Chain A
Amino acid sequence: MDKRHFERFYNLYVTRIYKFVYFRVGGNKALAQDLTQDVFLKAFEAFDRYDPTVSQVSWIYTIARNHLVNHHAKTRPSVDLEDIEGTLLASEDGREHYARRHDERALIEAIGKLPEEDARLVKMKYLEGWSFEDLESVLEKTSGALRVQASRALKKLKKCMKDPYASVGE
């Protein structure tokens, strides 16, 4: 794809990629900023090879996720992709800058108890601001199916917050 179109691409996704990174580095703003820049540097270098038939969301999401995996691999002795996906509560310095209130903390903990797919959808949709249409290509489901899944996940969240010991698994 022509690099002249990169500016538009950057403006479109910079905020969402920043939030995606932010929640996976424990709310560390400076680190999220650096990693977001790195993601877009990689995207720029690969922009020539980008196939327009592939979803832009899926493409930049893959770059961001792989970059985060590499980052955590460098900072930790060993890392698993599942750990990265579930690092919403785990920050590098042990604090969660984004969960200031008790109910917010309870909510974050409840998300951690959801099934993996539900938790991923809730985080990307409601925390990071991706649209259902964007998530179609990332999660490989139709937007209608994602809406239903999100609605059910929210119900599970409510249930989990009411009763922290309730089972909300599949």
Chain B
Amino acid sequence: MSNVLLFINNMFSPKWNLWRIGRRATPDKATVVAMRLELQKAGYLPHRSSWALLHARTAAVISTVLAMSIVGATGTYAYVSDTVLPDQPLYSVRQGIENVQIALAVTAEQKARLHQQQILRRMHEAALMQKQKRVIPPQHAQTFLNALREVETASTTVVMTDPMTREERQALRAQLRAQLRVERAQKYAAQLKVRAAADASSTEQDLNDDDRSVNDDGQGETAAGVTASSTISVPSSIVVSSTASTYDDHDETSAASSSHVEARIHRATGGTRLRLHGSMTTTTTGRLLNLFDK
């Protein structure tokens, strides 16, 4: 062992010792600063405070960490906050993060799950915009519509592992029915305002229709048909498969509400629970319920 150490020592000693002597000869920071201050006094170098000279590296590290923290915090805020909507500059940050997420997803299942989340987020954003009576600016409308089209044209499949219990299915069915009732009531209430009194009786009859019947005509829905107040817990066992829709790029309300999102519930398997805050379109809610009850 000692021979090995001696061999290593002999092999590296000249270079190592030279390096060690050279390092010892390196001027310390105080010496460098002192030399520089002398030249500064004589006017040969621009003025820098001794604090800046001594702590320049520390200041650079702190400012870098600070800048990274600000960027991280901004990204997090843009991604999670409900106040970041398509008419705001930070929305592009959110889209960027989502694109990176999808790009980083390895398996088809991960990509599908992310697409599913994106669909739900777009719908949620549309609902929030309408709830707050905000108009999407043209420059953001196109971006928003593109994002919506992109995620909706992607066919997604999510493989589930966690089965849904009977109680949970019943609760979900009840929630969906309640929501559909509210949405349809709101829709017809809005129609009542503009229709003649003679049409009121036919509207009343429609309201008494079977809750399971679904209005498949999504093209004509208005803002009243989109808003809802309840929160629905949607298990991720719902496989959201989207079909390409024909959008009117200049009518974001129509585009948001006409999303033909079809959902199928896999009874045999369940999975991670997705909570959809806000609302879904009447068409979507009806389709969910209809498919769920099949």
Contacts and interface: CB of A to CB of B under 8 A. Distances in A.
Interface of A is mostly: helix
Contacts of B32: 14-15
A40 B15 contact: no
B14 A157 contact: yes
Contacts, number: 83
B10 interface: yes
A54 B45 CA distance: 23
A99 interface: yes
Contacts of B39: 10, 37, 40-41, 44
Interface of B is mostly: helix
A40 B18 contact: no
Contacts of A122: 18
A58 interface: no
A98 B14 contact: no
B14 A6 contact: no
A19 interface: yes
B34 A33 contact: yes
A87 B21 CA distance: 16
Nearest to B48: A7
**Of listed B26, B44, B45, residue having the most chain A CB within 10 A:** B44
Interface in B13-47: 13-15, 17-22, 24-27, 31-32, 34-36, 38-39, 42, 44-46
Given A15-B32, A18-B27, A19-B26, A99 B46 contact: no
A161 B19 CA distance: 16
Interface stretch (A63-71, A76-84, A125-133, A137-145): A125-133
Interface string A26-44: 0101000100110011001
Contact of A15 (B18, B26, B34, B45): B26
A163 to B, nearest CB: 12
A103 B21 contact: no
Contacts of A108: 21
A156 B90 CA distance: 66
Contacts of B46: 7
B25 A19 contact: yes
Contacts of B15: 126, 154
A23 B25 contact: yes
A8 B252 CA distance: 57
19 contacts: A7-B46, A18-B26, A19-B26, A19-B27, A23-B25, A29-B31, A33-B27, A41-B42, A98-B21, A103-B13, A103-B17, A104-B17, A107-B18, A110-B14, A122-B18, A126-B19, A126-B22, A127-B21, A157-B14
Given A6-B44, A18-B26, A107-B13, 13 more contacts: A14-B27, A22-B25, A37-B38, A41-B44, A44-B44, A98-B21, A101-B17, A107-B18, A122-B18, A126-B15, A128-B25, A154-B14, A158-B14
Interface of B: 10, 13-15, 17-22, 24-27, 31-32, 34-36, 38-39, 42, 44-46
